[in-house]
């Protein structure tokens, strides 16, 4: 079965009344749990479902999830173009934070071996930087959450999570690492701010936003002017949005009105959209 057919099948198998587990999907489709985890991540990032512990549920804010034939494509070419444009903001010996998200992970893959320091909570970003010896990588300490592919400490708190405070003699690295630039992904960008669907991602991203001088959001045009579930930060915290050249003039206008610099990355026209 091709990946596109398998992911449409996953969308069709989701039950609105309960969690559909990874094990159920793997057994029904006769594939490994790892394959299902990968498919759920792609569908979650595209807004077609919501990943939860042990499986997934339909995303109420994404009606297409109920109809697998209406799933819009994931524009991997746009993501690569956005990631490439983001590399232009990196300076020699820079201090960066690379948050989670598929486009940020692509950026890490494409950035090459250059002298800089990177803080991340994202496992895909870490893996994409692993073979670049000049990139000094710091990983946010804590527990590995495999489904969200992030590392998060249960001891940090920002006053909004309800988690216990950290001991005074051991400040978390995410509050000690002063970064010039944060590169951030999202599930949606609305007039209310940067949105995500997963509470753990929101918790991680909020902490990282506070540590950078400049916040750059990487978002395909299909994610702009969409609703989201949970707010990471308001628009006033975003300095630059890098999107693709299909973004509407109306979206650019309201983002610019919020003093956000919008960059349109050129997407090669000869490469079609593809759900994969």
Q: What is the CATH number of the domain that holds 29?
A: 1.10.10.10
Q: Is 235 a residue whose pLDDT tops 90?
A: yes
Q: Both 161 and 198 in a single domain?
A: yes
pLDDT in tens, 5-18: 888 889 888 887 67
Residues 118 and 218 in one domain: yes
Please report whether residue 205 resides in a domain: yes
Reply yes or no on whether the pLDDT at 216 is more than 80: yes
pLDDT of residue 6: 87
Is 255 inside a domain boundary? yes
Structure tokens of 23?
Answer: 């094990």
* Whole-angstrom distance, CA of residue 41 vs CA of residue 46: 9
Decide if 271 is inside a domain.
no
State the CB neighbour count (10 A cutoff) for residue 38: 14
Least confident of 38-52, 66-80, 93-107, 195-209: 66-80
Instruction: Give the full edge-to-edge strand order of the sheet including 116-120.
Output: 135-139, 116-120, 94-98, 179-184, 212-218, 240-244, 261-265
Final residue before a domain boundary, out of 39, 70, 101: 70
Number of domains in the chain: 2
pLDDT of residue 177: 79
pTM for the full predicted model: 0.68
Both 83 and 135 in one domain: the answer is yes
Residues 28 and 130 in one domain: no
31, pLDDT greater than 90: no
Bridge partner residues of 194 (DSSP) = 189, 233
Q: Could you tell me the CATH number of the domain that includes residue 178?
A: 3.40.50.1360
d(CA 175, CA 140): 10
Same-domain pairing of 192 and 123: yes
Last residue of a domain, one of 40, 70, 100: 70
Residue 33, domain extent: 3-70
- What is the band of 184 on the pLDDT scale with cuts at 50, 70, 90? very high
Same domain, 65 and 80: no
**Is the distance from CB of 19 to CB of 50 less than 8 angstroms?**
no
3-class DSSP state for residue 205?
Answer: helix
Are 59 and 33 in a shared domain?
yes
Q: Are residues 111 and 34 in the same domain?
A: no
User: How far apart are alpha carbons 184 and 191 in whole angstroms?
Assistant: 17
Q: Does any domain span residue 88?
A: yes
Look at residue 270 and tell me if it is in a domain.
no
Identify whether residues 137 and 232 lie together within a single domain. Answer: yes
Calculate ∠ Cα 107-62-104, nearest 5°: 5
95 part of a folded domain: yes
Give 224 or 57, the one with higher predicted confidence.
Answer: 224
Residues 192 and 110 in one domain: yes
If asked whether residues 163 and 249 sit together in one domain, one would say yes
- Count CA atoms closer than 13 A to 105's CA, side-chain side: 17
157 and 187 fall within a common domain: yes
Q: Of 70, 85, 110, which residue constitutes the final position of a domain?
A: 70
Residue 63 has pLDDT above 70, yes or no: no
């Amino acid at each position: 079965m091709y990946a596109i057919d398998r992911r449409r099948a996953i969308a069709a198998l989701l039950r609105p009344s309960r969690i559909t587990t990874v094990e159920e999907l793997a057994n029904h489709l006769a594939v490994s749990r790892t394959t299902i985890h990968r498919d759920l991540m792609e569908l979650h990032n595209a807004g077609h479902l919501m990943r939860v512990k042990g499986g997934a549920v339909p995303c109420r804010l994404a009606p297409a999830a109920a109809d697998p034939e209406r799933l819009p494509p994931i524009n991997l070419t746009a993501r690569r173009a956005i990631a490439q444009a983001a590399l232009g903001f990196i300076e020699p010996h820079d201090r960066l934070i690379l948050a989670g998200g598929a486009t940020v992970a692509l950026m890490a893959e494409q950035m090459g071996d250059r002298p800089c320091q990177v803080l991340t909570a994202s496992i895909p970003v870490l893996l994409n930087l692993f073979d670049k010896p000049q990139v000094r990588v710091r990983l946010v300490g804590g527990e590995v959450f495999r489904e969200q592919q992030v590392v998060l400490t249960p001891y940090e708190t920002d006053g909004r999570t309800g988690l216990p405070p950290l001991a005074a003699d051991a400040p978390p690295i995410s509050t000690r690492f002063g970064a010039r630039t944060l590169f951030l992904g999202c599930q949606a960008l609305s007039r209310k701010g940067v949105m995500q669907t997963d509470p753990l991602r929101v918790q991680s991203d909020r902490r990282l936003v506070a540590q950078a001088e400049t916040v750059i959001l990487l978002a395909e045009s299909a994610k702009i002017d969409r609703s989201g579930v949970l707010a990471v930060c308001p628009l006033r915290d975003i300095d630059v949005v890098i999107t693709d050249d299909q973004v509407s003039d109306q979206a650019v206008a309201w983002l610019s009105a919020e003093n956000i610099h919008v960059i349109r990355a050129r997407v090669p026209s000869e490469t079609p959209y593809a759900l994969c």
